[in-house]
Each structure stands twice: as C-alpha cells, then as structure tokens.
Structure 1
Amino acid sequence: MLHILQLCQQREFLTKQDRLPKVSKSEYKITEKEEHMADFEIIDAHTHLARTPEEERNWWLLPGRRACDRYGAPEKAVEYMKREGISKMVVLTLIPRQDRGPLVEKAKLASLPEKQRREQEKKIGEQVAPKMREMNEWGCELSKRFPQMVSFSCISPDLGGAQEIVKEVELRASQGAKGIKLHPGMFCFFPDDEVMFPAYEKCQELGLPVLADSATWPTPHVLTVFPSPVALTVQYDVIDYGEPKRWARVASTFPRLSIVLAHLGAAWWDERVELAQKYPNIYFDTSQGFSAPDRIPHSPHRGLAEADVPRIFRKIGTDRILFGTDFPALEPQPQIEQLIRMPLTDEEKRMILAENAKRVLRL
C-alpha cells in the first residue's frame, strides 16, 4: 500500500475524474504512427532462463501465474520471442533460487572479523562454485541450440580467487559466451573488490562486456523468509553491495571495458547519472521499467518516474541506454509499451530498443 501511495504523490498522477481530459470516441482509433511502431527491432538485453519448466516454477514463485503463461524455459521463451517480435534475448545465467541456500549463510557473515569471514566464505564458495559453473556451461550450450539467445556467464569471488575467476571467463568465452554477468547483491560482494580486477582486465582484453545488477537487493535470508516477488520490494536489512558508485574505480581502471549497469529506474538513478557524466564506458539497461500511475516496478524504492525518463535518458545519452526487461519475472510487452509511448524520437527508440545493444554488446 505504501508503494501505491508513493506513486500517487507523483506530480502527473490524476486522482479526480473531473481532471481527466475529454476524449471523443473518434480519438481512440489507432494512428498510422502507432501502427509503424511494430517495425522497431527489439533486443531484450536482460533476461534469465530456467533449464526446465519445473525449475522455472521453483525459481520464480509467482502466485496465480498459470502454466500456459510461464515462458522461462528455452522452448517457451522462443515462442514468446516470436509472439512479441523480439529478435534476440541476452540470457544472463544465475544460480536458481532453490540452490541459493549457501548464499543465505554468506549474507550473515558481514559482521564477523575479516579472517573468520574469509574462512567461512571459502567454505560457502566450495558449495556455490559448482552450481555457477553448471549454469554457465548450460548457458553456452543454450546459445548454440538457439542462436537468437546470447549467453552471458556469471562470475563472483565464490569461484575461488582471482585466478579461478579468470579461468572461468576464458573458458566460457571459448565456449561462446558473449559477456559476463555480475550480481553483487545476490553473491554478497562489492564490485570494486580487487579480487575481481584480474577478471575485468581479462574481459577488457577479450572484448567481453560486463552487465551487473545495480539496484537494491534484500540479503538472501530475506528472500527465504519472503520467497515471492514481494521480497524484491522489502527495503530493510539491505547491504548495498550493488550501489552504482562502487563501479567508479572499475570504470576508471579499465577504460576500454564496457560496463552495463542494470535497472536504471531503480534506486540510485541519480547516482547513475553522475557516473555516466564521468565515465563514458558505463552504460545502463532499462530492466524492470519505470514508475508510473499504471505501473509499479519490482523495485519502486526511490524509483525513477516515467515522466522524467526522457530527460534522464538524454542527460546520460540515449546512445548509452539498452532496453531490457528481467524476463520472465517481468513480461517484456508492458515495458515495450512503456518505452514506445514516451516522447522520444523514432531514432532514439530504435537505438534503445536494439541498436545500442548491437553496438555495446557486440551482437
């Protein structure tokens, strides 16, 4: 209820019927301009997939979603892409929710003395690393089966130190991965931890872009207590591992590394604008959309209002914005509609919906 009240306070939200503009029936017809919107190519630069329908059901616990409305397994995702006119999906591998038990324990270690914490993290990494490698291998095989799906492999310090992380980057690149995925919040690490720097250097050398979550993220035990989409709006007990400012040193140290920070519309969007003005190698994706009277995104805390989006896009540079959705947790279609209805030029929409992804992600 609190999130709805916050959205109601946005300056463009109309609460009284008599404030609505009078619209005649003739104005409801679809215009020629709206019809040609379907001609835009669409690349979804931020998706996750499950290996099987059963894994999808256990991963995304979406109350009320019918089996026929689940598209998170590869074969069903291909159907969805055809239906919605999506030419490519960037599939970011992650550990499924049901395998994140060790990460729940890792989240509780933050207050321990460093030596003790490192010892416990090593033990947890020994449990997490095999799952991560398993999903990365599957992702690379997936892109061979379905060329319209582009694989990004996941890495974190849990792989066992700097050298092992670099080996994983090299291996997955040789298997066809086109980029690297980081989720600092889920894996409880800061992106400017120097253990990650050799991997960034390797990505820069190989021309692999890095895409990272940069929104607020409840610590994993919160997601266990509230195993549903509601958990993603719980704004307490959060350690800000993914805060955008943590990427400043990475961007300056590796100026040829393309860094895409996900969830532009979530918390710290103003901090992202500051980063963009300092570091030309930082880009952003639109996954989860933007706050609007008819839309409450997964992460509404300090969310960027739709009315302000065109101005923020242009301040950053529309050539640095990539369209993404977080499919299948969120469906692409409403987010496509939201972007298309914004007062942007057709050229700006083309760049955001597909052309920027082709250039930045080298698709």
Structure 2
Amino acid sequence: MKIIDAHIHCCSSPYFDQIAEEAAHVNTTEHLRTVFQEEEIVHGIVMGNQTLDLSYHQYPEFLSYCIGLDSSCLNARSLAASIDKVEQHLQRKNCVGIKLYPGYNSQYVFDTAYFPYYELAKTYDKPVAIHTGDTAGTGGLLKYSHPLTIDEVAVAFPQVTFVMCHLGNPWIVDGIAVVDKNENVAADLSGLFEGMVDPKKTQEKSKGYLEHLRTWLGYLDQYDKLLYGTDWPLVNIPNYIDFIKSIIPEAYYEDVFYKNALRVYRPANIS
C-alpha cells in the first residue's frame, strides 16, 4: 500500500534529535528516506518553520513542504512584511501550502493580519495547514489553538482548503464538528501519541482514548477528509501506521493513507 506522510518536520536541533531517538529513529533525511522506503511511504509533506528564507527550504525529491508562519512572523507588522516572500514560496512546485502555528503564536487564525495569506492560498490553489490542539512544552497558549477557531476562517474563505492538524487533539469532538460542518476543512491524524510504544500495551492502557477516536471518526464518517501524518520525528513510523490502521476501517486505508493527501496537497512527481 502506497503512503503519503502528510505531516513531518525537518529541523536540525538537539530537541528534535532527542525526540527522534526516543521514537527509535535518527533525525536525518537519510534515515527518513530509508524508513520511507521500508514502509512504502512514497512522499512526505514538511511543515516548515524557523525562517522564510527561500534558501533554507531545500528538500530532497521525496519531500514537499508548506511554508510556515511561526513566531518569526508573530505580529501584524511582520506578517505584512512577509507577504511577498510567502508568495515566492507558493510559486515553487514543491511548496504545497502554508502552515500556521496558533498556540505557539499568540494570534487567532481569524485575525485579519492573516487574510492576505488566505487570499494567496486561494490564488495559488494551495491549502492552509493549521496547528490545533495541545502544544509542545508549557509556553503555548491553548485558547489560540482550539479547533473551533478554524470555523470562522473556513466560512470567510470557502474557496480555501484548510487542514486541521492533529484533529484538534484533545478537543476531538470539537474538531470533528468543524470538519463535519465545513466542506473546505480536512484534518490530518498526526501527533495523536508520542514516542515508541508497544501496540498491545497501548490497546490496553489507552482503550478509552482509542474508542473515543473510533467513535467520533465513525460519527464523522467522512474518511475522504482525513489524512495520515506522523509529526515525525515525534513518533515511531511503523508503530504509527499500525495505530492509524487500528482506528480507521480497512475499507478506507487507501483514502486516508494516500489518496486524500494526494488530492489536498497535490505534491509533484507522484500519482
């Protein structure tokens, strides 16, 4: 089965090195390529951050990226100054969208400072991925990353596809409601757990959590709007494939693991 990983990170830092090790991985693109080949993952979508410098966002052919507006573009003034740079990224074939970081950024996604970026996404017909749910560490502010905030921009920009990253976890029910209501909102299933886990122990220890996910994904019953993603290097990739298989009906594996990401992000050179 071909797979597209619709949510990974490529950052060289001690933090990412450590979490990769905890997930039984090595934080290098060479290692990632090897794992992708072993697991039949034909492409990955990098959630970019750190800088808008075009020279920084150079990735091997098996990866595309979303250009990220992180803390370096925190306020309305810096956002306004970045429009031209973001447009230059969107003109690249391997730049498949925009990524926002509410929660880490103390700014709601319906702030009008973001509106020119949604207009760019509409012009270039590329999606906007939005971090939702819990944040890493204690410095984030969760009110900004609640999935209900996406409802406002989805209504205001009906021609833009928004990808709710992490399904709003732990606000799964709220996230499902937003995806269900808005035709232009999809969700990726990345980062729903961390590290290297024993699947059997996870089934026992986290039975309620898994049933909660299955129940509300079944309630949504729109598997054409769900994308497989890992949040690598946060998780062990073979583990995570098995985990997603355990909460998605087998009839929809091809959609969730491959077809939906192909349709939403349209990465080049694969079909």
TM range (shorter): 0.7 to 0.9
Residues 63 and 214 from structure 1, CA distance in 2 versus in 1: closer, same or farther, beyond 3 angstroms? closer
Aligned to 1:166: 83
- The within-5 A match list for 1:93-108 is 93-95=48-50
1:343 CA drift (Å): 6.1
> Residues of 2 paired with 1:339 and 1:360: CA distance?
19
Residue 62 to residue 275, structure 1, CA distance change in 2 (3 Å) = closer
Provide the residue aligned with 1:112 in structure 2. Answer: none
The alpha-carbon distance between structure 1 residues 343 and 81, as it changes in their structure 2 partners (threshold 3 A), is closer
Q: Is the contact between residue 20 and residue 235 of structure 2 (CA under 8 Å) also seen in structure 1? A: no
- Greater helix content: 1
Distance 1:64 1:138, change over 3 A: closer
Q: Structure 2 counterpart of 1:175, which letter?
A: R
SS where residue 49 of structure 1 aligns? Answer: coil
- Residue 231 (structure 2) aligned to one of 294, 317, 326: 326
Partner of 2:217: 313
Select 1:193's aligned residue among 104, 107, 111: 111
Q: Tell me, in whole angstroms, the C-alpha distance in 1 between the residues paired with 2:64 and 2:263.
A: 14
Residues 1:205 and 1:304: Cα distance change in structure 2 (over 3 Å):
farther
Q: What percentage of residue pairs aligned between the two structures are identical?
A: 21
Match of 2:201 in 1: 294
Paired with 2:103 and 2:182, the residues of 1 have a C-alpha distance of 23
Aligned to 1:151: 65
Q: Which runs of 5+ in 2 are unaligned?
A: none
Q: How does 1:7-86 map to 2 (within 5 A)?
A: 40-50=1-11, 55-62=12-19, 65=22, 69-86=24-41
1:56 and 1:73 in contact (8 A); partners too:
no
Q: 1:75 to 1:210 in 2, by over 3 A?
A: same
DSSP-derived class of the 1:181 partner: strand
- Following superposition, the deviation at residue 293 of structure 1 comes to 7.1
Whose relative contact order is higher, 1 or 2, with alpha carbons under 8 Å and at least 6 apart? Answer: 2
- Is the contact made by 1:192 and 1:247 (CA closer than 8 Å) also made in structure 2? yes
Aligned mate of 1:262, from 165, 184, 193: 165
Q: Decide whether aligned partners of structure 1 residues 343 and 360 sit closer, same or farther in structure 2, where only a CA change above 3 A counts.
A: closer
> What is the DSSP-based 3-state SS (H/G/I as helix, E as strand, rest coil) of the residue aligned with 1:170?
helix
Query: How many angstroms does 1:198 deviate by?
Result: 1.0
Counterpart Cα distance in 1 of 2:5 and 2:150: 23
Within 5 Å, give how 1:211-250 maps onto structure 2: 211-217=129-135, 222=138, 238-250=141-153
Over residues 169-227 of structure 1, what are the superposed CA-to-partner deviations in whole Å (9 max), with x where a residue is unaligned? 21111233111111112222211111001111111111111111101226x6x36xxxx
Residue 304 to residue 252, structure 1, CA distance change in 2 (3 Å)? farther
| C-alpha separation in 1, matches of 2:168 and 2:15 | 27
Q: Given that residues 188 and 228 in structure 2 are in contact (C-alpha distance below 8 angstroms), is that contact kept between their aligned partners in structure 1?
A: yes
Q: TM-score, normalised by structure 1?
A: 0.64
Query: How many Å separate the matches in 1 of 2:240 and 2:141?
Result: 27
Give me the whole-angstrom Cα distance separating, in 2, the residues matched to 1:183 and 1:249.
16
Distance change (3 Å), C-alpha of 1:187 and 1:73:
farther
Deviations 1:40-94 (A, max 9, x none): 21111010012xxxx343434339649xx44322222111211222111101112
- The amino acid of 2:65's aligned partner reads S
Q: Distance in 1 between matches of 2:145 and 2:65?
A: 22
Aligned partner (choices 261, 264, 268) of residue 360 of structure 1: 264
Contact 2:226 2:256 in 1 (8 A): yes
Q: What code does the residue aligned with 2:28 have?
A: A
Per-residue CA deviations over 1:238-268 (Å, capped at 9, x if unaligned) read 4421111111111011101110111127211
Shift in CA distance, 184/353, structure 1 to aligned 2, threshold 3 Å = same
State how many pairs are aligned. Answer: 256
Deviations 1:260-313 (A, max 9, x none): 1111272111111221232110111111236987339xxx9xx98222434422
Give the AA of the match of 1:344.
P
